[in-house]
Structure 1
């Protein structure tokens, strides 16, 4: 899509020289900063004031080594991200105020970051030839957060170059040298970083995320026109490795939280390219680019709840201004409406100086356009053009995800989402055939999501983690045999249908299980009968008798059994004042015995969503026949 359309000769003619490219006002251009709305200025300056005389968190070698020693990556990441978040807040405050009050703390932050041996995080240091452990300073490797750091420092130099020079010319010189050595040179000279896509490994969100930051560093800091052109051309070739195989339905198989660094980071790249070529690079009329954007509003359930297949939490907080800008570019008013709605919620939290939900700081390349869009976004809200679109029906045929609700643009009533796909999706869980159900916008039958990442999460032990296993999704287990990971373990015979009265997904999930499950067929149909019920119907045939078959449901609700064949899922309190939903589950009383398993939650990430436990409902088949048809019916309580 990019490299062939914009070959190097065309790119050379279109690319604005570095000294003439001014994507945003610098701190010296006072009028633009002082014209921002007073509340926006005041709140951002207040964030900077909280960091005056800031003590920068330490990043000792032993903290870095916790990943390889005990599998903990979060302790180092907290300190790492705290440094970058503080620097970003100080830079924005200085740009807004323009009095030099924050400069010394900014210089301290820049200097501290430049003195780090590695700008990435411990979990990613395995990219170096020395492997995990401490970083080898002789081999700079570029991961997500090395690239993020390079871009942050590039923006510091762009926004505050003369102000930093007034303290010492060595500051900008050091930024230039460090970014050149750690980002620009290795990215330009090496082709073996897997995220580039030039090898055999499939790329994921790393590709556009790293490329967006490498592109930022290149456009802002690369002084050699030939190297600048070569880098941009290489970035286009790399981005094609992400775009070309992307599902044509725009579906992000990594889940909506990763859309923020997959499709949304692609948008970051396209915006930088559009700006740096004065609009010459423009692909927003391409259907695929449009569909990639629309994914985010198609998978919203209600409020901050989003479909969370793969490594996604049930609560997602996508960047409102970014969604709005993407919607503007593709001419989609629904996407713009979601963006404005999200921006209003972000501002409500920001105005109270509440901590952001995500621990990774917002990229400066996203923060700057959000600041200069603040007034426009507020006008969208005042004029009633800020709302979640909540489409009634969505079918993404390539990633095989169905979304259905009782009525569009409303969380009222029943909501169901179900998936097919395969078990080698990016950030895969073994969950082919999984379904989740919400009632009145509240969770009833859920996908637990993913715990805080550790060394085990992306290792050979991944599927020993309970959240990754099919037995902890809305799926069957046969004689203890669960679904298996791998591209060959996939749904087959997939069909979707929809009309005014219902929406239905039919698929055979037998292929997602290994031969030991003895499955000839497990035909599952998930149907929303609008205004009435969700039906999960299973018809199976085994190649040999089974001693045990179970169906699992995971719920945040309290579970009661008022009579055989009926379960009541009743509201239970969740963190931050949220409540679980209410539903009744009808099953064949003669077919199943019910067991309840409490799943204690000790993990910070899961606990922030579900509290201290979830409940697994195990429906154990009575004398399971070799062939049968069952149905679960979920109705509002």
Structure 2
């Protein structure tokens, strides 16, 4: 938008006040309702429990020794665990102070948390700073979030914050967000087509909407909003018309969440004149979450995403209230207050503020979804035997948080994964650098894709899948993709993978791989990834994955394929060693023209392997 028109809109904006959050601006009535309503009983119990834990624990401070570990050894968890625990104290005691304003212990702990965070040398994480960079000029995801959080607390707590702390918050947010954003940029994230633009710019824009509401602030607010609006445009460019988030559901919650928090405040302060929610692409992005669930809390977790997910109930119900086609999620999937290891304030607050905007549903229900731009096919089938899920992907190997995973697929039954995507590993220095694809969760070696003549998939935009067939019907879905571009393999002329997912009472998946070489390769391996240790069935040519009463049989031609199972350990996102199994089917006699079929059949079984 032209800066002149934007400046005029800013001059006519209503001041920032509690009515941005509460009906009629009555915060006391809202928090009394939360405190006494059974609908919020679980939330209040979680927050109160966390408050008791934190009151009994010493408040740790961030030291240079912790900060420097990332540069010395590449690890992030040591510094970040203390950093996020400080944010946990801030958010927990803020909500408890709003719930129980009579409790002096909560308020004292909150003021200490505010004081401590305002005294940090930098709000950025070491992983986002170069060792010779001035931290005062840097803005990363968490610096922006911290400023937004403090601005929001200053407004919501009002005069309950001592005048000195109110002044310090205003000064610190100005010094660490507003000034560098306007004077030291442009930052690389300002044109990022992924979560960074939404979180960084959205947090800065939100903080400005809350703190800059005096007449003398109008010019600065207009300039900040101009830059923020531009960054939001870049964020939306990262989505195709199908609304799919290539970074995965976790980053949809994160990036799109902050896009929504900002857009909500912007719409309210502008009286609806600046409204991102009227954009058709935003409507389609809002519907992404409900397509990702495969039964229970199991989700499609391509890219750096977790295999099991809960929902931010506030964000979800806000979107369901905005858009008729967006389904409010089952309350059983509600995220526990303590779940977010980054202790983000904005979603935690809105899980309470926006709870009453829509009703929950009993379950997501069945659905088949073709996300054309992403190249994802997702099916959630409800049968008498339970809920079963299948997802497969094409795409390309230069996606945000990219994995080399063209042709990857997932199978779930009863809320458990039988063929898995490892999702995101532990974030370290090397994880986002040249060694990224050495990590099994990122390289094709840790995905259910073949190893062709000893060659793994390569990264790059040109390493892309071509969609050959896509069909959805009531009885089955089909997808066929050409994947040879992903492999720099001499002699490989074509590689086509096709799936037929039959939605019978106990569903089954037929997979066919067709290879064409200039001459016979030396070796060819079909690989499948599972967190379940397989067992040989009594029937030749059948491998069984069993979990509880449900099993998945892998039927193959044992005369042509030799099976090998390797137990492998990788570090998951939380730094925990996790075992997975690589199920390798080696072609005994590779030929120039090869067609391989494997059938995956769900069945009930008494074998229990966990």
TM-score, length-scaled by structure 1 = 0.87
**Distance change (3 Å), C-alpha of 1:580 and 1:313:** farther
Q: How far apart are the structure 2 equivalents of 1:534 and 1:19? A: 55
Match of 1:586 among 555, 558, 562: 555
CA-to-aligned-CA distance 1:554-611 (integer Å, 9 cap, x gap): 112231223432111122xxxxxxx69511001122221000100134546375xxx8
How far 1:414 sits from its partner (Å)? 3.9
How far 1:234 sits from its partner (Å)? 1.6
8 Å contact 1:142–1:182 — kept in the other structure? yes
> Partner of 2:592 in structure 1?
626
How far 1:455 sits from its partner (Å)? 0.9
**5-14 or 582-591, which deviates more:** 5-14
Match of 1:536 among 483, 500, 511: 511
8 Å contact 1:314–1:449 — kept in the other structure? yes
How far 1:368 sits from its partner (Å)? 3.1
8 Å contact 2:305–2:423 — kept in the other structure? yes
**Distance change (3 Å), C-alpha of 1:539 and 1:29:** closer
Q: How far apart are the structure 2 equivalents of 1:27 and 1:64? A: 41
After TM superposition, list the pairs within 5 Å mapping 1:165-180 onto structure 2: 165=162, 169-180=163-174
How far 1:450 sits from its partner (Å)? 2.0
> Partner of 1:335 in structure 2?
327
Q: How far apart are the structure 2 equivalents of 1:357 and 1:497? A: 38
After TM superposition, list the pairs within 5 Å mapping 1:436-447 onto structure 2: 436-447=410-421
Pairs aligned (count): 591
8 Å contact 2:437–2:443 — kept in the other structure? yes
Q: How far apart are the structure 2 equivalents of 1:633 and 1:7? A: 61
After TM superposition, list the pairs within 5 Å mapping 1:73-222 onto structure 2: 73-99=76-102, 101=104, 102-125=106-129, 131-132=130-131, 136-137=134-135, 139-165=136-162, 169-197=163-191, 202-222=192-212
**546-555 or 97-106, which deviates more:** 97-106
Q: How far apart are the structure 2 equivalents of 1:467 and 1:269? A: 33
> Partner of 1:361 in structure 2?
343
Match of 1:66 among 66, 69, 90: 69
8 Å contact 1:27–1:96 — kept in the other structure? no
After TM superposition, list the pairs within 5 Å mapping 1:7-18 onto structure 2: 7-9=5-7, 11-12=9-10, 14-18=12-16
Secondary structure of 1:335's counterpart equals coil
8 Å contact 1:264–1:322 — kept in the other structure? yes
Q: How far apart are the structure 2 equivalents of 1:7 and 1:631? A: 62
Secondary structure of 2:364's counterpart equals coil
8 Å contact 2:394–2:407 — kept in the other structure? yes
How far 1:4 sits from its partner (Å)? 7.0
> Partner of 2:236 in structure 1?
243
Structure 1's unaligned 5+ residue stretches are 126-130, 351-355, 572-578
> Partner of 1:559 in structure 2?
534
How far 1:226 sits from its partner (Å)? 1.2
CA-to-aligned-CA distance 1:41-73 (integer Å, 9 cap, x gap): 853455445444763212110111111111110
Aligned-pair Cα RMSD in Å? 2.6
8 Å contact 2:20–2:265 — kept in the other structure? no
Q: How far apart are the structure 1 equivalents of 2:575 and 2:86? A: 25
How far 1:423 sits from its partner (Å)? 0.1
Match of 2:351 among 358, 370, 375: 370
Match of 1:386 among 352, 361, 384: 361
How far 1:427 sits from its partner (Å)? 0.4
**Distance change (3 Å), C-alpha of 1:440 and 1:35:** closer
**Distance change (3 Å), C-alpha of 1:26 and 1:85:** farther
Secondary structure of 2:170's counterpart equals helix
> Partner of 1:548 in structure 2?
523
Match of 1:527 among 500, 508, 515: 500
**Distance change (3 Å), C-alpha of 1:497 and 1:20:** closer
How far 1:451 sits from its partner (Å)? 1.4
Q: How far apart are the structure 1 equivalents of 2:278 and 2:206? A: 24
8 Å contact 2:124–2:139 — kept in the other structure? yes
Q: Does 1:321 align with 2:314?
A: yes
**Distance change (3 Å), C-alpha of 1:395 and 1:105:** same
> Partner of 1:456 in structure 2?
430
> Partner of 1:407 in structure 2?
382
Q: How far apart are the structure 2 equivalents of 1:277 and 1:339? A: 33
Q: Does 1:31 align with 2:29?
A: yes
8 Å contact 2:330–2:364 — kept in the other structure? no
Q: How far apart are the structure 2 equivalents of 1:475 and 1:220? A: 49
Q: How far apart are the structure 1 equivalents of 2:48 and 2:536? A: 55
8 Å contact 2:244–2:285 — kept in the other structure? yes
Q: How far apart are the structure 1 equivalents of 2:587 and 2:131? A: 46
